Amino acid sequence: MKKILIFLSFSSFLLFGFKPQNLKQQKPKLVVGIVIDQMRYDYLTRFADRYGEEGFKRLLNNGFSLENAHYNYIPTYTAVGHTSIYTGTTPDNHGIISNNWYDKFLKKTIYCVDDGNYKTIGNNSTAGKKSPFRMQTTTVTDQLHLAQNMKGKTIGIAIKDRSAILPAGHTANAAYWFHGKEKGQWVSSSFYMEKLPNWVTKFNNNDKARDYLKTPWNTLFDIETYTNSIADENIFEGKFIGETSTSFPHDIPNLKEKNGNFDIIKGIPAGNSFTADFAKAAIVNENLGKGAQTDFLAVSFSSTDYVGHQFGPTSVEIEDTYLRLDRDIADLLSFLDKQVGLDNYTVFLTADHAAVDIPAYLQSVKIPAHYFSTSKFRDAILKITEKYFNSTELIENVSNYQVFLDKEKIESLGLNKNKVADKLVDEIINLDGIYKAVTAKTLQTTRFSDGILNSLQNGYNQKFSGDIMMIPYPATLTGGRTGTSHGSGYSYDTHIPIIFYGNGIKKGVSKKKYDIIDIAPTISNLLKIEAPNSATGKIIDEALKESIR
């Protein structure tokens, strides 16, 4: 009997307890990063009963979802978001401090990816004079290339140039974005290539963009079923040029000419479908996921942002856009199954920021909300400098809730720049619309460990940012009273989805607090490569399967 028990124990050890030490979990052949522009986390829950089983629900049910993921810096803009996702760090390190910002060295406002050293590839416009040179750190896509001795392919795709260029990194094989207007073409930059691949030229020649603009935008389902939104016709939403109503249907064929011709595709759900079409063409024609090395495809769906800006988070248009995007994602996942193989790819899905409910709408239901005038604010601080320093020439620029001082003028008047900044902060906090204000010196010498001032500090770059940083009241926007925007460090702008799915990913959910900068270190760990060179995020180990070593 004793011999039998020993035999059974040994057999059990062989069957269940023995772990060979020379086996390794196979890396994915393809990583697909999906960034949805302006996606609030609650779009996953608010529209849950309307999504199909193969899109968002497939990712949620079979992947690992972070329900309490946030951006941990200010400002929450598109370029900053995409950069932070892929670098695993915040603007204080990576250097992309906004979409556009005042360059205190050049003395002018610059755009994050403009680069006059390169030319457009694909047409004769200036749309391709771009590169990622202002991004000061590496991305996870760069690190993958370095780890594989520059083998494997990295491609970035988005309607917006910044959303394709910054995720793809400095070493990308290609980045493509959409040039609308009269062109209706996918283009690139000579930073990446000397001419478009034949497959891109063929895709452009097929004139798919024009096909998507041949039919009006009507709701996918009976409009009476859109109960997760406010009334279709209301005073809080914007209109396309030429429309007299905010309600469906939107007559895209007849509105096209007055709304930038091919540019109109950016602001309708068809722009997301068009992006998915181009991404699938890239997967096939570049043989992504078919080689010996791991490839990386960075895809950003930009049309959600344009729709959100115009119509707002509670609109029927947003609800319809996400129901249609759900189908696009389902189609893309099915395509990956067939083209790359179910177990051969890993996906992460997130957003570059969220958005605030339209302040005018919030005001209508008695929730505090505000509109801020930058021009009136500038006039007010000029009065402050005149009162205390007898000059209206001490301010060089006011933008992005930052004040840049004219240090040469301050010095010429025998003033101390730190004392000028301190006095301005003391007075600015009394102005209408400003909730918090700190000097750059304070951010350099004091550590805010949590809260919104910590987010402000994470977004402050000592080399590029202004001399005074400000935070408005919650639910504040600049601009008109229709539509929405983003940029703050409040939860409505910071709370976004993060879902991992596929090779190496567990099924599950977490309610722990995670930051957007945790994605890049997690994917780097999955791929067994170094994290980006300035990464400050942490590995989300509960989302990863145990490696077999």
Q: Which domains does the chain have, with CATH numbers?
A: 30-358+490-543 (3.40.720.10), 370-473 (3.30.1360.150)
Side-chain half-sphere of 427: how many Cα atoms within 13 Å? 18
Give per-residue pLDDT as tens, 79-132: 999 999 999 999 999 999 999 999 999 999 999 999 999 999 999 999 999 999
Structure tokens, 11:
């057999």
Q: Are 486 and 354 in contact (CB under 8 A)?
A: yes
Span 202-240, pLDDT tens digits: 999 999 999 999 999 999 999 999 999 999 999 999 999
Count of beta carbons in the 10 Å neighbourhood of residue 6? 10
Q: Phi, psi (5° rounding) for residue 95?
A: 90, -10
For residue 501, the cross-strand partners are 347
Do 248 and 215 contact (CB within 8 A), yes or no? no
Closest CA to 153 of 164, 165, 144, 163: 144
What is the overall mean pLDDT for the chain? Answer: 95
C-alpha angle 292-297-298 in degrees, rounded to nearest 5: 155
- 321 phi, psi to nearest 5 deg: -60, -40
Task: Give the closest residue to 31 by CA, choosing from 140, 138, 137.
Answer: 140
pLDDT band for position 546 (cuts 50, 70, 90): confident
The Cα–Cα gap between 24 and 103 comes to: 48
Q: What 3 state SS string does 223-259 have?
A: HHHCCCCCCCCCCCCCCCCCCCCCCCCECHHHHCHHH
pLDDT of residue 25: 63
Farthest CA pair distance, the chain: 101
Task: Kindly state the tokens that stand for 5.
Answer: 């028990």
Per-residue pLDDT tens digits for 419-462: 999 999 999 999 999 999 999 999 999 999 999 999 999 999 99
Catalytic residue among 45, 76, 78, 304: 78
78 is catalytic: yes
For 380-392, the pLDDT digits (tens) are 999 999 999 999 9
pLDDT at 5 over 50: no
Q: Please give the Cα distance from 344 to 350 (Å, whole number).
A: 20
Secondary structure element (H or E) that encloses residue 395, with its range: strand 395-399
Residue listed under structure tokens 């803009």? 77
User: Taking CA 237 as the corner, what is the angle to CA 232 and CA 242, rounded to the nearest 5 degrees?
Assistant: 95
